[in-house]
Structure 1
Amino acid sequence: MDPSQENSQQNQGLDLSAVRSKNLPTEQQPDGQTGGPAGQPGGAGQDPNAVNVPALVFDVDEASFNDVVAISDRVPVVIDLWAEWCEPCKQLSPIIERLVSSYGGRLILAKVDVDANPRLQQAFGVQSIPNVVAIVKGQPVPLFQSALPEPQVKAYLDELLKLAGENGVTGHAVVAGAEPEPAGPAHPEAEEALSKGDFDTAESLFKAALAASPADDEAKFGLARAGLGRRLIDQDPAQLIAAADANPRDIEAAKAAADAEVVGGDPAHAFTRLIALIRTCAGDEKESLRLRVLELFEVLGADDPAVAKARTALMRALF
């Protein structure tokens, strides 16, 4: 056989589209129980969304690559292609490892030494390193090349999670049969500022995070809390509510009272107050009230019963 043809056939065995269907995780073991080897569903507590993995960060070679592809059906896999002689790789790899670990199992990192695994390098079409790609449902997703600062790397990982979620890849990795450790704060500096009452700094940091990653739900939540906290500094909630009750047509008083009611544990009344005014207002006033309602939705979260009820009432008031 011609050497070039033999090499071509070997490379075909590592093509991502080719291995996509070879070693996908099965829903159950032959005995009907979940759990099992790396890449298969099941883990601590038999969670169907859990995927057993050897670690959140591990080395991968040509022999184990198909297992990584299988895992990507459940959990997005970040691939760090590196080499010992690559100085930028030595700067980038610790950043990726730290960030991936911080997601609490929503991502895993497979490290590929391209000198030891040239066929994997060829399979990804990588010509220079460092090079970071991902696999989602067996398909390659280019991320970035070169050593980037940590905030930019995190922005890429956040976007990867969004893409994975849109494609139904929402599982989490479990190491050695244990439940994954809870992820730390997604924006520790902003959260620290928030806890200290430095709402302006927190707001600035959350806005910067959203500029880098507009789909960052944690940043949206933090920004809403920072705005609420800043508005209520040195305010007496009881006085705010009394002022709004005394003048039900005062838009600003109603917004301030709604803030106080949400913080005081009465979000249903806060939404009733604002939505009643939306029905009678127009133009900028109506838009101002709508935005405040949406901001308070972010503070409480979509699962709050008051939010679900108010969302329907808001739609009726607007249309």
Structure 2
Amino acid sequence: MSQPTPSPNLRGAVDLSALSGPSGRPTSGGAGGGAPGGNQGASGAVVVDVTEATFPATVELSAQVPVVIDLWAEWCQPCKTLSPILEKLAHEYGGRFQLAKVDVDANQQIAAAFQVQSIPSVVALVGGQPVPLFQGAYPEAQVRQVLDELLRVAAENGVSGVLAGEEDAAEAVTQEPAEPPLPPLHAEGVAALERGDLDAAADAYRRALKENPGDADARAALAQVELMARVQELDAAQVLAAADEAGPQDVTAQLDAADVEVVSGRTAAAFDRLIAAVRRTAGPDREKVRLRLLDLFEVVGGSSPEVQTARRQLASALY
């Protein structure tokens, strides 16, 4: 899928004062304003979970090392695709930035401060200043481009430290109980995804479903892989413009546009689009739209508020 790679802009229109500390002011200097930076070491793990209580320390750390904030939720399937990519890159970059993971359901004040409208959303802090990055489950190559640009912008503003806690964090990880291994076909699917072979990944998850039709994880993973395959050759801007021009009755255009919107994190817009198409179509076309909606429900996750709302709207549109 062709998506423009976001260019980090140091001055975001986000007010973090309510979360920055007891005084209502950031606990460290702003970027370019005398904040400590350079190549000094900063203590802290490369990947951390952040809460409203610990957020002021995150703001303070951003004066020395850029902090990339992954805003996610347990019910969000695209988050489960993006988060491992961010974690892998955080370790690969060797402490040049910290990855701070924020559960938006448990930390609604942080989500509100960053004006989160859909997840996954990724923002950054540089010297206490918010830096909007991107929304949606971007592929690794584009995430890497965004991170490289972020580090460049941060360095220009005097924030180029390196976390000194990488080894300690790695040691702590090795001491944690190992997660149970994936079922063989799931592991095969993950391996195929890591090497970029979507066909092989889809085949692995289909075989897993054949063995166990009730395997919800395999069903969700297959829907995600099939979505990735559908959008990989699409140009997002062109697809959305064509769908708006064609109108709800053009089923193919609306299906492509909804796929693009889900991948970009705009799930509510995608569901609204397809439900409008359901209302304007009949027969095989309506069934095609309905089935695509069900597939996208699997991608996003059944417990998502957007999915629950869309299911009610779909039932109303059909009956």
Please confirm whether the aligned pair reaches a TM-score higher than 0.5, indicating the same fold.
no
- Answer 1 or 2: higher relative contact order, Cα 8 Å, separation at least 6: 2
TM-score normalised by the shorter chain: which range applies? 0.3 to 0.5
| TM-score normalised per structure 2 | 0.43
Larger Rg over CA atoms = 1
